[in-house]
Copies of this chain bind each other. A is one copy, B any other.
Amino acid sequence: MSKSVGKSIPRVDAFEKATGRAKYVDDLCGRDALIIKVCRSTIAHGYVKSIDTKEAEAICGVVKVLTCFDVPDIPFPTAGHPWSTDPSHQDIADRKLLNQHVRYYGDDVAVVIAENEIAAVQGVRALKVEYEELPFVLDVQEAMKPDAPLIHDERGDSNIVAHTSINNGNYEEARKEPGLIKVEGWYDTPTVQHCHIENHGCYAYEEAGRVVVVSSTQIPHIVRRCTAQALGRPWGDVRIIKPYVGGGFGNKQDALYEPLCAWCSTKVGGRLVHYECTREETFVCNRVRHAIRTHIISYVRPNGELVARKFEAFSNQGAYASHGHGIVAKGMGAFPQLYPCPNVECDAYTVYTNRPVAGAMRAYGIPQAMFAGESHIDDICKAIGMEPLEYRRKYLMPVGYVDNFSKNEMYYDSFNQCLDKGMKAIDYERKLKEYQNQTGPIRRGVGVAVFWYNSGVWPISLESSSCRMVLNQDGSLQFQLGETEIGQGGDTAFSQMVADAVGVPVEDVHVVSTQDTDVCPFGTGAYASRQSYIASFSIKQTGQALKERILEIAHEQTRMPVSSLDLVDGKIIRTTDGRVLKTLGELATESLYSLEHSQHITAEKTTQIKSNAYTFGCTFAEVEVDIPMCKVKLLNMVNVHDCGTLINPALAEAQVHGGMSMAIGYGLSEELKFDEKTGRPLNNNLLDYKLSTMMDHPHLKSAFVENPEPTSPYGVKGLGEPPAASGAPAIRNAIFQATGVAIDRCPMTPHVLYKEFKAAGLIED
């Protein structure tokens, strides 16, 4: 049987997307849609006292103005997490459709619904909003102080959203051991934005007493629930449809403007209403990555052995909880696992500030944790005089390591295998030697960083996937999954797995790419690098169920026992002699049109997944640092991943390249900045925000170690997010090697380097 999994077949949506024929939300929206524009807070913190709507309502084309005084008094959560029936495990419901208590510069205050965009914009400008201003706070540790402005007074007397700890052994006792070397550092990561190509947008209308939202989202089934919660309606009253999506990276793993858009439709008699975020709004009024400040203290023996470690992380949540504490908690969770140490004390804090809301973003807390942790490892190496790669080979989690909570196991020697491949690809040993003891103004360095990641969210949250397959008369089939294509190539990988699960050529597999919650089997969507791992379970199970039905029907039609039948490459085979008895198309046609026993052939299954899988890898970076100019040029970058068996090597490589690009921006150029005096965002556009582009990259190299994951039906595990995890610390460590200067904040821009190089005496004023 010819297998499809493992082949670099072209993307199933390649032609559509390359030719521009693929339809996204904006392409699909009806001609007669009303346009929504949002009036946004021009202060960082305070109360809306009044809104004068008269002038706006008088504008020709303005249909309706709705303000924060009109919305239902229902706080709702937005995080794209599976729901939990345990109230203590539910997401924080801390925002309304429009907010009277505004908590960041750009908060949603009112909407204007108009016949066209011009009238809507004019309407927003004509609104007269009167505020009562309050003091605001942007810094995470300032916000923790007792006298800080209280951002969610309805939630108690502190801005701390959550604080959790991990304590293993006895840190305080252990660090007293004589002869230990103490290494300490503070590591800062910035607020960045996902910058997917397609801004979030959605449109809504009422149909038969229900509200339908077509949205650019990663998580249609979850958005359905959040939207219903926001509207205070039964969940079945809401239908979400997700067409092609032009990227999400976690930003669209939240209910964004679907609830507001749905509510607006209900306020104009169910008419079609369309809201599309501008790029400026996408930067500020969607979600951003949590800026996290991390403090690490390690006590090591002279040989590098870790004796006692302390980890503190302060995560800047911004104005609303969104994904909240999950991000920093995940980063903290990686810390004791990656370099096992008997005595560890960890604390993570998530804190409201008057900044844009932080939510999910590719690798969910791990880029921050890896920047801190992997920078810190090189700090240790420096302190004890050990080569960083050698240190990692010696102290990273060993083969056979099992995490007690997730039950994840280190089945293979993945780290060493990845490091071997990466070293070779970048010619590490030669360069490491060559770049010792440089003295000139232009110096080079190589650096390495590793990452740790999971595949999905079990056991923290529910993992389940459902799949349905429908056989056509010609032997081709459609399949539906709740897991979503958002640009990453999921549909192609799923199609390959379906082909092998059923026993048909991949050309005969048609993915139903659009999730419509009315008919699509339940699935939670694209996040947590879960999809290829999680969906593979339901694909395999449903494929087997379909195959069983097919073979039973083949038995009816051919009179051969099922035990002597197989489905291979779309043909019914008699296994005893390999004879082709009929094609699947012949079987399906006969089955459907049989006057004796007509059956349409489908299968549908839910699979709950109670396992998870480590996914590992590393980045090697080579830089050239122009010390007087404080500029870093990235010469080489290699990512190596063990994400199990590759479903589609070409797509895997593309996914890695995208993540590396994101890591480069994270390390060197990207940061959303705010005016300290007003809280106003300063660079929320693609001109002033320095998104990493092709022009900033060296030729990106990637390599894979394919250790089949034993818990996974096809041996695959998470790859979506990890490529963004370890790039920034690898660059940081390369700069460290080149200059001897530890840059402990991202992005490592000339401004930052200037300060650090001056402090280190490399340059003068």
Contact = CB atoms under 8 A, between A and B. Distances in A.
A160 B468 CA distance: 47
Given A270-B21, A476-B234, A604-B604, A16 B508 contact: no
Interface in A241-270: 269-270
Interface stretch (A178-186, A516-524, A748-756): A516-524
B208 A600 contact: no
Contacts of A590: 85
A675 interface: no
A409 to B, nearest CB: 21
B208 A15 contact: yes
Interface in A535-584: none
Interface stretch (A138-146, A357-365, A389-397, A591-599): A591-599
Given A518-B510, A608-B598, A593 B83 contact: yes
Interface string A69-87: 0000000000000111100
Given A27-B30, A593-B83, A235 B519 contact: no
Contacts of A27: 30
B593 A85 contact: yes
Interface in A459-484: 459, 462, 464, 466, 468, 470, 472-478, 480
Contact of A519 (B234, B474, B480): B480
A172 B112 CA distance: 84
B15 A595 contact: no
Contacts of A468: 519, 602
A594 to B, nearest CB: 8
Interface residues of A, number: 67
A6 interface: no
Interface in A1-47: 12-13, 15-16, 19, 21, 23, 27-28, 30-31
A613 to B, nearest CB: 19
A508 B205 CA distance: 19
Interface string A216-259: 00000000010010000011110000000000000000000000
B84 A593 contact: yes
Contacts of A206: 21
A228 B462 CA distance: 43
Given A470-B519, A600-B521, A234 B585 contact: yes
A15 to B, nearest CB: 7
Interface string A509-539: 0111000001101100000000000000000
A477 to B, nearest CB: 8
B598 A462 contact: yes
Contacts of A21: 205-207, 270-271
A462 B478 CA distance: 24
Contacts of A30: 23, 27-28
Contacts of A237: 474, 476
Contact of A208 (B13, B84, B477, B604): B13
Nearest to A521: B600
A416 interface: no
A87 B269 CA distance: 53
A16 B593 contact: no
Contacts of A476: 234, 236-237
A4 to B, nearest CB: 16
Contacts of A16: 207-208
Interface string A193-228: 000000000000111111000000000000001001
A116 interface: no
Given A16-B207, A208-B15, A209-B15, A472 B85 contact: no
A597 B593 contact: no
A522 B589 CA distance: 12
Interface string A666-691: 00000000000000000000000000
Interface in A360-419: none
A606 interface: yes
Contacts of A600: 464, 466, 521-522, 606
Contacts of A508: 236
Most chain B CB within 10 A, of A205, A464, A477, A512, is at A464
Interface string A438-478: 00000000000000000000010010101010101111111
A592 B474 contact: no
Contacts of A510: 208, 210, 236, 518
26 contacts: A12-B208, A21-B206, A21-B207, A21-B270, A28-B30, A85-B590, A225-B473, A234-B474, A234-B476, A234-B585, A236-B474, A236-B510, A237-B474, A462-B594, A464-B600, A468-B519, A478-B519, A512-B518, A512-B519, A519-B519, A521-B600, A597-B608, A598-B606, A598-B608, A599-B606, A599-B608
Q: Top 4 nearest A-B pairs by Cβ distance? A: A236-B476, A236-B472, A522-B600, A234-B474
Interface of A: 12-13, 15-16, 19, 21, 23, 27-28, 30-31, 82-85, 205-210, 225, 228, 234-237, 269-271, 459, 462, 464, 466, 468, 470, 472-478, 480, 508, 510-512, 518-519, 521-522, 585, 589-590, 592-595, 597-600, 602, 604, 606, 608
